[in-house]
Chains A and B, each alone.
Chain A
Amino acid sequence: MSDPDAFATLDTIQEPPGGPAAVATGAGRTLAGDAWETLRSSWVFWSSCTLIVILVVMAAFPGLFTHVDPASCQAARARISPSAHAWFGYDVQGCDVYARTIYGARASMVVGLIATLTAMIIGSAVGVYAGFFGGVVDALLSRLTDIFFAIPLLLGSIIILTSIPTPAGSAFFSILKVSAALAVLGWTSTARVARSSVIQVKQADFVSASRALGASRTWMIRKHILPNAAAPIIVITTISLGSYIGAEATLSYLGIGLQPPVISWGIAINDAAAYVRSTPHMLFFPALFLSLTVLAFISLGDVVREALDPKAM
């Protein structure tokens, strides 16, 4: 810690990147408004948004990015390395890796987003209520969380995925099922962290002051607790996106996740994993796209977290 530069951040941190130098003071300043002002002038915000938009377009209209049919697989050209003909090469079955990566965006992003959002909502709700109200509510909710911790992933996912019947041929329903299974089994970490964050914030003076002023509980949660406790939740949520896409792959590998003909990055990565020594290109490209997606969301989450931080400014 003797590096003088390390502490420069202590001084500069008071001015978040691209902080609004001249903001109209006076009536009408809200947290959201402040946040928007901050975000508007942040290049990180715009670049991650652009990347996300590109990925969403890729998920919605994969035909724009490639004319190759991802399901057209010829065993004779299995595992061929990238060339001018096929930019990302061919995979174990002889399918075009580039086409599969583009088309795989849809399932992966949908699973990732739905699972993450669901887990975030459930986890935050449980955590915030447990942390804020304490006492019996905390005991009930926390013990419930503990029970869910004990459910093994394999067992839980088999049960959830096999007890809900899927109408045949409905890819979207099966994606929904997988997302639900992942969210149901993954919300616990978010709940614990949210609870800890709320407990910490609860002790602050401004919370007591707010209570003394007669604020209702809902008001306090919304205006005081959540903004201050949001940071860890945002961090976990943005990283979870990537890990849920990976978890979906594990489920497919076990035979209970998404089934062919659905394509996803997770499935592509898992199919290629065993061959990483001999033909790494099959693994590398889907993993790269996954990294980019995660990067976009992590950066976005980072910059939003900073913008929402009531202490900065």
Chain B
Amino acid sequence: MKQRKLIVASALFAAGALALTACGGGSDSESGSDSSSSAAVTIYNVKPENPLIPSNTVEVGGGNVIENLFRGLVRYDPDTAAPINAMAESIESTDNKNWTIKLKAGQTFQDGTPVTADSFVKAWSWGAYGPNAQKANYFFAPIEGYDVMNPADPDGEDGPKKAPTPPTKELSGLKVVSPTEFTVKLTTPQSFFPVEVGYSAFYPLPESFYADTEAFGKKPIGNGPFQMISGDGDTGFTLQKWDGYKGEDKPKISKATFKTYTSDAAGYADLLAGNLDFMDQVPPSALVGNQYEKDLPGRTINKAVGIIQTASLPQYDDNFKNNPDIGKALSLAIDRPTITKAVFNGGRTPATGWVSPIVDGYKAGACGEFCTYDPAKAKEYLAKSKFKGPFSFSYNADGPGNKEVAEAICNSVKNALGVKCDAKSYVDFSTFLKDRSGHKMTSMFRTGWQMDYPSIQNFLEPLYATGASSNDGVYSNPEFDKLIKQANGEEGEAGLATYQKAEALLANDMAVIPLWYQAQQSGYSERLANVKVTPTSTLDLIDLTVK
């Protein structure tokens, strides 16, 4: 009878499930439980959104992998963030506009071909060429010839006419002098150029890249200390030490696996269970009460990284235009120490300026008294302002911890100023960015910045210069622009002093309110020793050892 068969089948299923349970626990066929030192170090990663091409990688999923497969002209010291020559022998200029770059001899790619000046020049031209549609395209903007290769759309994005094909595929500002020397001509002086070229968009590419770009995007051939042996974005990538690497930063481990996780909760659970070796940032819930330090005693790192969070005020909105008093009032109303303690448990440090403390030129206190908590003074400034609220704080709900932050800020403003403040959520970053870039914000909105390269310039110019690409609040101060341009051309201490002068101007206008600097709370397993976090917030695989 069918009835009986159903019951029998169900019973068998249950019995089978129980049997599987018995042999299911503890069977670790993955590398996590293998204690021999030749086993791969497993590192938390997320799925890359793009093919693994340096000029197309602008997010961490791909960036984590690429920075170990390649070496650019310079790399950043894991402790001080200072640039160290990698492929470059020297990068020199007399006027900060014309640069001569000499390469170290004898460097090769992992397929045996040599790293030459062409490897860089061709790669940069390819990345800058508009129709190649590389996401990091704008990094080549300072090089002469960029504009020609990126002609504007004659009738804007929505018009039927397309932008014309650029007449050339080569940046006119790059010239190859010899296989180990090339020159770069910039459109404006940039004293920080030697620091900037360490960014991943400037990595060299072998000839095989141009032959089959698609295959390269799945399995890149680099010139760095590691080579990729297997994997894909969905499950993870396995890297192995490349014996042919001639640089001085040779790794001590032999294998590393960047395992893709669908959520940070899963990664943390695996870390606790011993299946994962390193997680760059533990979930916000593990920070509460220092839970992560209790879970991983002696195996945590809390290190400042080049990330800052800010709250921007829309300068295109009548309520906030030419109204520094409102920005000052709001800034004085945000109780940074209490919020960072309550929500992040010390994982963030209250900001005193617009520049991260880890870069050269950081000067504490640029924000002055306005970044302290003073409800009385806040009310004074509010009274002076023509707009007195109510306020809202817009954010994207898909970022972990964003909701708590937004609500905490609004509660603080409410309590200090006695005005209404509501946290306004957008369903995801895409929807949020559309309104943000489209200048549709009506009140405070969440902004932040993660440095591309360790320089004070990177925290100021792309965000606050008139018309800058990430200046979503449409802040404009000609004096600021002037100082930035001047500082870009100056060397060393003089340049830093000028940048600091520019930063001080931001306090007067208070169009963007500094909130806090971010530190990263990493956790690692018992297998690892010599664990260091790089300035780009990743695990340093060079000094790392396995016990």
Contacts and interface: CB of A to CB of B under 8 A. Distances in A.
A75 B422 contact: no
B425 A75 contact: no
Contacts of A261: 422
Interface stretch (B166-174, B282-290, B488-496): B282-290
Contacts of B397: 253-256
A113 to B, nearest CB: 25
Interface stretch (A22-30, A203-211, A239-247, A274-282): A274-282
Interface string B415-434: 10000001111111000000
B291 A92 contact: no
B408 interface: yes
Given A75-B343, A78-B342, A277-B285, 17 more contacts: A72-B415, A75-B338, A75-B411, A79-B289, A93-B408, A94-B342, A94-B411, A253-B397, A254-B397, A254-B427, A255-B427, A256-B427, A259-B422, A259-B424, A261-B422, A274-B283, A278-B289
A79 B427 CA distance: 26
A255 B408 CA distance: 16
Say whether chain B's binding surface is mostly helix, strand, loop, or mixed: helix
5 contacts: A72-B415, A73-B407, A75-B335, A75-B341, A271-B404
Nearest to B294: A278
A95 to B, nearest CB: 8
A74 interface: yes
A260 interface: yes
A122 interface: no
A271 B403 contact: yes
B415 A74 contact: yes
A259 B428 CA distance: 15
A75 B342 contact: yes
B396 interface: yes
Contacts of B412: 75
Select the residue from A72, A74, A274 with max chain B CB neighbours within 10 A: A274
A275 B285 contact: yes
B343 A92 contact: yes
Contacts of B291: 277-278
Q: For this complex, into which size category does the number of interface residues on chain A fall?
A: 20 to 34
B422 to A, nearest CB: 5
A92 B285 CA distance: 11
B404 A92 contact: yes
A158 interface: yes
A76 interface: yes
B349 to A, nearest CB: 16
Closest 4 CB pairs of A and B: A255-B397, A274-B285, A255-B425, A78-B342
B428 A279 contact: no
A278 B335 CA distance: 24
Nearest to B338: A75
Interface string A45-74: 000000000000000000000000001111
A291 to B, nearest CB: 23
Contact of B411 (A73, A79, A259): A73
A278 B411 contact: no
B369 interface: no
A78 B422 contact: no
Given A92-B404, A93-B408, A253-B397, A79 B425 contact: no
Contacts of B427: 158, 162, 254-256
A93 B408 CA distance: 6
A72 B415 CA distance: 8
Contacts of B288: 79, 275, 278-279
A278 B398 CA distance: 23
A43 B396 CA distance: 49
B539 interface: no
A259 B395 CA distance: 12
Interface in A263-294: 271, 274-275, 277-279
A76 B415 CA distance: 12
A93 B428 CA distance: 22
Contacts of B422: 259-261
B129 to A, nearest CB: 36
Contact of B425 (A72, A259, A279): A259
Interface residues of B, number: 31
Nearest to B265: A274
Select the residue from A75, A260, A277 with max chain B CB neighbours within 10 A: A75
Interface string B271-284: 00000000000011
B339 interface: yes
Contact of A255 (B339, B410, B411, B428): B428
A277 B285 CA distance: 9
A75 B341 CA distance: 9
Nearest to A71: B414
Contacts of A253: 397
Interface in B379-398: 396-398
Nearest to A279: B288
B286 to A, nearest CB: 8
A2 to B, nearest CB: 16
Interface string B305-349: 000000000000000000000000000000100110111000000
A71 B356 CA distance: 34
A255 B426 contact: yes
B285 to A, nearest CB: 4
A76 B403 contact: no
A75 B285 CA distance: 16
Select the residue from A92, A253, A259 with max chain B CB neighbours within 10 A: A92
A14 B426 CA distance: 56
A214 B335 CA distance: 77
Contacts of A259: 422-425
Interface in A71-104: 71-76, 78-79, 92-94
A263 B408 CA distance: 15
Contacts of B284: 274
Contacts of A256: 397, 425, 427
Contacts of A162: 427
B405 to A, nearest CB: 10
A76 B425 contact: no
A114 B283 CA distance: 36
A106 to B, nearest CB: 18
Contact of A78 (B283, B343, B425): B343
Contacts of A72: 415
A78 B404 CA distance: 11
A260 B422 CA distance: 6
B484 to A, nearest CB: 36
A71 B423 CA distance: 13
A279 B283 CA distance: 16
A12 B271 CA distance: 55
Nearest to A261: B422
A93 B291 CA distance: 18
A255 B428 CA distance: 8
Nearest to B397: A255
Nearest to A94: B342
A275 B285 CA distance: 5
A97 to B, nearest CB: 15
A71 B291 CA distance: 28
Contacts of B283: 274
A29 B322 CA distance: 79
A183 to B, nearest CB: 20
A73 B341 CA distance: 15
A260 B423 contact: yes
Contacts of B407: 73, 93, 260
